[in-house]
Amino acid sequence: MGGCREHIFEVVCPEVVTTVFPPDIAVKLNHENNDDPCFAIITGTLEFDIDASVHGLSEKAIEEMRITVINGFGQNQ
């Protein structure tokens, strides 16, 4: 909910990825609402690039990986 202030989303990836194929990665999605007091329901799609070179993964591994998203609340959690 919101609509009066900018919301910031951040994906935090683990430093280590399992070596199984396809890779199974748990990422944390942080959301900062900047104390937005409004109640509008904003819909949209969040997109994040996953850089294969960060974890030494092949493009095939990126295409077939399983990603589990953990809901993070704020940047300190």
pLDDT at 72: 62
pLDDT in tens, 13-72: 777 766 677 777 778 888 888 888 888 877 888 887 766 666 677 778 778 888 787 776
Position with higher pLDDT, 66 vs 8 = 8
Residue 55 to residues 17, 18, 50: CA-CA distances in angstroms?
7, 10, 10
Provide the residue ranges of all domains of the chain, joining segments of one domain with +: 8-73
Cβ-Cβ contacts under 8 Å for 11 (sequence gap 6 or more): 27, 28, 29, 30, 48
Name the residue type at position 3. Answer: G
| pTM summary value | 0.62
